[in-house]
Chains A and B, each alone.
Chain A
Amino acid sequence: MKQSIIDVTYVAQLARLKLTADETARFQSQLNQVLAYVEELRKLNVDGIEPTAHAAPQTNVFRSDHEQSSLPVEQALHNAPRKQNDLFMVPKVVE
């Protein structure tokens, strides 16, 4: 087995996931295996091939520009873990 393809500790931090040491080690070996399998894609010649982001892209889909009602504040906040004064509450972001 060649050297590690992925640095799980670094990527998990990008993804905002605080993994345990055990999880990190397990994912490291499992995802290396998956990525080694994914590497086979490199064998294909894709020169000049356009990427497909969507199988059936619909472009410029507009609705008529009419005012519509939206979710009432009370309902939008209903599932919030913490709320106050009709707002979502989070830990302090700026000093």
Chain B
Amino acid sequence: MSLHTWSLFQAAEAIRRKEVSSTDLVKALLARMEKVEPRVQAFLHINAENALEQARLCDAGSAKGLLHGVPVALKDILNVKGQPCTCASKILKGYIAPYDATTVVRLREAGAVLLGRTNMDEFAMGSSTENSAYQKTHNPWDLERIPGGSSGGSAAAVAADECLAALGTDTGGSIRQPAALCGCVGLKPTYGRVSRFGLVAFASSLDQIGPLTKNVRDAALLLGVLAGKDPLDSTTLPDAVPDYMNTLEQGVKGLRLGLPREYFVDGMDPEVEKLIRAAAGELQKQGAEIVKISLPHTPHAVAAYYVIATAEASANLARFDGVRYGYRANDPVDLLDMYGRTRAEGFGAEVKRRIVLGTYVLSSGYHDACYLRAQKVRTLIRHDFEQAFQKCDAILTPTSPTPAFKIGEKTEDPLQMYLADIFTIAVNLAGICGISVPCGFVKNVGKLPVGLQILGPSLGEETILRIARAYEQATPWHKEKPGLL
């Protein structure tokens, strides 16, 4: 039995029926890692002994919840008590988390086994996972290409069958874009749907935690476990969490799906466009109505995002000062010297670049012209979506304008790297939800996966999961595996 290829749902069912043990599953995944991890390098920390111990306890005890005994991987930005949490940064080398993130508590309560910590762009800043201070993660479909980012380790680990599912975080596309580029499913919940307590903050008004999975049903299962109000995160929404599994199979008949003209632009890979249009055709065949819509402020989303996200990041990352945790520069002559060198030596180039940019847009004389203006543009972008959702129930777009690019291709050109997020960023600014599902492969540069992005209004997770599920059931893409042995 090749247990490592199983889905989360399949594994949970099999454990419940006692057809396999949690220990069998963990061992199968550890064996898989041994085989492929040297080439993929998706994990920063694999705690094999601890995972086996958790599995043993699951096998010995009675079923706790929906994920009893099922191994899940975590992005290295979520705090797990007693484990490292580096955010792929040198500044947090050696840090041991003193508490569990709420999402971790919820996984534990559901009975999940925490398998290990996945690589990412440092502090979730990037679109390729190349900004990790520790290692480069390779796309399982083509090892010379990036897995996307910033949750690139989570996406690559799922795609390479090194875990059954993983958590990622999405500030401007960091779950959906790597999911698309690695050929798995990635869901960014509505802002406030999932607690951010215990998540190391990048941009607090944009960050959300969500699942990366092998199929849509697994994403629904995992979201149900993660979602809900949390007294420890005052931005969580009080709305009741629906049973996402219950509405999953309702199909798309009668739903109106919008195709925004601004998302089919010059410079987009023509093969990607063809696949997205074919996916819309498939959903139309199943009884959905395709409507043309416009999101006129889309071209301004990247600019507004990089002002707002870097401003928030510059404030959030001020806490890394060498006093309470993490790295401290050697022999500082005074306090300012300690701050300045600790941060210069501890942070990588992209993080420093964004701190400088964020500090600039908040600084006296530029605040109104840059930051306040970007927040007003954010309002315009939100209104675009509100108006669009009067005309349709969900929106179809490509997740990324191109498939995975080569490692090193964009590292010296930050602006080009930022533009890789062009189709995912507006969603975070508007605070709505989105999912990326595999919708085929481009073949012009080798076989590389492409993602279809389905966007829903605030708390529209049931709708987008249902559409994604209907599409997935009718297409073979999610069953295809990378050629890695």
Contact = CB atoms under 8 A, between A and B. Distances in A.
Nearest to A82: B328
Contacts of B306: 34, 38
Given A33-B415, A38-B303, A40-B300, A16 B377 contact: no
A33 to B, nearest CB: 5
B316 interface: no
A51 B375 contact: yes
Contact of B356 (A12, A58, A88, A91): A12
Contacts of A46: 373, 376-377, 380
B323 A79 contact: no
Contacts of A50: 376, 379
Interface residues of A, number: 51
B357 A31 contact: yes
B324 A52 contact: no
Q: Which of A31, A76, A93 has most B Cβ within 10 Å?
A: A31
B192 interface: yes
A16 B336 contact: yes
A71 interface: yes
Given A17-B344, A49-B379, A56 B98 contact: no
A52 B375 contact: yes
Interface in A61-76: 61, 63, 71, 75-76
Q: Chain A contact residues: over half helix, strand or loop, or mixed?
A: loop
Interface string B332-374: 1111111111011001010011011101100100000110111
Nearest to A30: B414
A20 B99 CA distance: 36
B123 interface: no
A83 to B, nearest CB: 10
B382 A81 contact: no
Q: Chain B contact residues: over half helix, strand or loop, or mixed?
A: helix
Contact of B343 (A8, A16, A51): A16
Contacts of A54: 191, 205, 235, 431
A90 B314 CA distance: 22
A57 B288 CA distance: 33
A44 interface: yes
A27 B363 CA distance: 17
Nearest to B92: A79
A10 B323 CA distance: 24
Contacts of B356: 6, 8, 11-12, 15, 17, 27, 31
A31 B335 contact: no
A23 to B, nearest CB: 7
B338 A91 contact: yes
A26 to B, nearest CB: 8
Nearest to B340: A18
- Interface range on chain B (Cβ under 8 Å from partner): 35 or more
Given A41-B303, A53-B205, A6 B326 contact: no
Q: Which of B234, B321, B376 has most A Cβ within 10 Å?
A: B376
A60 B299 CA distance: 35
Contact of A18 (B95, B344, B369, B375): B344
Contact of B334 (A6, A8, A91): A91
Contacts of A30: 353, 414-415
B337 to A, nearest CB: 8
B477 interface: no
Contact of B327 (A18, A19, A52, A81): A81
B359 A44 contact: no
A1 interface: no
A27 B352 CA distance: 9
B382 A52 contact: yes
B275 interface: no
B334 A92 contact: yes
A56 B190 contact: yes
Contacts of B340: 13, 16-18
A34 B415 contact: yes
A44 B169 CA distance: 31
A80 B237 CA distance: 34
A11 B357 CA distance: 8
A85 to B, nearest CB: 15
A13 B407 CA distance: 32
A14 interface: yes
A34 B376 contact: no
B309 to A, nearest CB: 12
Nearest to A14: B359
Interface of A: 6, 8, 11-20, 23, 26-27, 30-31, 33-35, 37-38, 40-42, 44, 46, 49-56, 58, 61, 63, 71, 75-76, 78-82, 88, 90-93
7 contacts: A14-B359, A41-B300, A42-B373, A52-B382, A54-B191, A56-B191, A75-B98
In the A-B complex, list the 10 residue pairs whose CB atoms are closest, starting with the nearest: A55-B431, A51-B375, A79-B325, A18-B340, A81-B328, A61-B234, A46-B376, A16-B339, A15-B359, A52-B378
Given A55-B431, A81-B322, A91-B337, 16 more contacts: A12-B359, A15-B359, A17-B347, A35-B357, A37-B302, A38-B374, A41-B303, A42-B373, A44-B377, A49-B376, A71-B99, A79-B98, A81-B326, A81-B328, A88-B323, A90-B338
